[in-house]
Amino acid sequence: MAGKEDLKRLHELTDEQVHEWRMARLEYGRQKYGDRHLKRYNLVDLMEELLDALNIVEFVNERAGHVPKMALIEKTIKDLILALPIVDKHIKDEHCTDEEGGERIWWSKQK
């Protein structure tokens, strides 16, 4: 187990480090998955990530109790979830295919 001096904390990151982290994740995804994102229903991907984020908010609350600003984060995620169907109405069907989406939890069983 890492000692306290080895503990990385999000609040210590600079904006530049967060950007570098994002770019590293983007590059990793591109190397691993190539252009598969062009044949995925990306708004469903986003919805899945937001639903996971809501679950993670619950995990933080279970572990750490009341954390300042966590209710704001939860509300923001819920607002984004409500916005996705509105955005979806403005995207052509041809951009919402999911050939590379694979078997999705719950979504794949909906008609």
pLDDT in tens, 15-46: 999 999 999 999 999 999 999 999 999 999 99
Q: Read off the tokens for 30.
A: 């591109």
Residue linked to tokens 């750490």? 64
- Mean pLDDT on 80-94: 98
- Residue spans of alpha helices (H) in 34-95: 42-64, 70-88
Sign of CA dihedral 2, 56, 111, 39: negative
Structure tokens, 85: 């169907």
Is the Cβ–Cβ distance between 50 and 80 less than 8 Å?
yes
Q: Is the pLDDT of residue 3 over 70?
A: no
Rounded distance, CA 28 to CA 34, Å? Answer: 10
